[in-house]
Amino acid sequence: MREVIPWSILAYSILCCGLFVGTTRSAQDQAMLQADRAFVQAVADTDAAALDKLLDGNFTWTDFKGNTHTKSDILQNIPTVAIANENDAQEKEYTYGELASIQANSGRAHVLRVWVKRPEGWRAIVYQEVLSLDAPPAFAPGAGKDCENPCQAVPYQPKNATEQQVIAAYSKLETAAMAHNSAVFSTLAADEFVAASSNSNKLYDKRGRMEDFDHAKMAGVAPTPLVSARMFDFGDAVLMTSEHKPDRGKPLHVTRVWVKRNGSWMETLSYQTSVAAAP
């Protein structure tokens, strides 16, 4: 079941009449969706030649165990996917200019595909799986009592003004999460925000995350120290992939998408996969 929500259409509909009717797709949205369907089919058919034409040079595939593979790795050995049949999955799609995300959810399995617009067409740059816990977590791996990293500083040197602004927004959001400050968090999380984590039994939307803050719960999703990061700048949208080492528990591989609205950077999604094989 697909829920198609190009943000430009959603914002316009809310502005004009307060109601969104997702019946019209732009040519760009259609092209991205066609590429995504071709990707899913190529993986199902283990067709490396077809898949090769759909993958960006920076493409990475992270399975639900936290194993991350490059484009060349995947073309040599196409993995089995966490959601074998997406026809029965709940799906959401968002486009942000030259960056797009597709989210598929089926039970405890959550899949993220991020697409980028290149001169030759839409290319997949991220495929990531998250398997939620089957019960509430006993503890939430975090950034420690003081949250020096990422609340106060992070070991990443921004390459330009856009990256600097995103890093500042990221640190501010994590500080708000650490303080359970739902008011500040709401200004940094987009309305379509979603968080999926290997350390939680929930798939969070913005309201659910804020309610947890108001009730002083972390529920397995908490700020964790940043080890390294990569950013891909697409104007008013930025893809951020990063590695984290929490104070306890397994390391995390995280994908985030940031968008600029009304002059401020906001996080639209956070997919956090534990690296099971790490010591």
Residue 10 burial (CB < 10 Å; 0-12/13-18/19+)?
A: middle
Residue 28, SS3? helix
The answer on pLDDT for 69 being more than 60 is yes
**Angle, CA 161 vertex, CA 156 and CA 166 arms, to 5°:** 60
pLDDT over 60 (residue 17) = no
pLDDT value at position 3? 55
Confidence at 23, pLDDT banded by 50, 70, 90: very low
pLDDT tens across 112-159, in order? 999 999 999 999 999 999 999 999 988 788 999 899 999 999 999 999
Radius of gyration for the chain, computed over Cα atoms and rounded to the nearest angstrom: 18
pLDDT digits (tens, 9 = 90+) for 119-130: 999 999 999 999
Which residues are bridge partners to 228 per DSSP? Answer: 243
Question: Residue 7: pLDDT above 90?
Answer: no
- The yes-or-no verdict on residue 22 having pLDDT over 60 is no
Contacts of 166 (CB under 8 A, 6+ apart): 158, 231, 238, 240, 258, 265
**Averaged over 97-110, what is the pLDDT?**
98
**∠ Cα 196 202 204 (to 5°):** 60
Structure tokens at 115: 């697409």
* Cα atoms in the Cβ-side hemisphere of radius 13 Å centred on 112: 32
Residue 9 has pLDDT above 60, yes or no: no
Q: Each residue of 208-264: pLDDT tens digit?
A: 999 999 987 777 788 999 999 999 999 999 999 999 999 999 999 999 999 999 999
Q: What is the pLDDT of residue 2?
A: 54
**Taking a C-beta distance cutoff of 8 angstroms, is the pair 22, 4 a contact?**
yes
Average pLDDT over residues 5-28: 53
Q: State residue 4's pLDDT score.
A: 56
- The per-residue pLDDT of the chain, averaged, comes to 92
Distances (CA, A) of 40 to 54, 85, 244: 10, 10, 29
Domains belonging to the chain, first-starting first, are: 2-131 (3.10.450.50), 148-274 (3.10.450.50)
Among 198, 235, 204, smallest CA distance to 217 is for 204
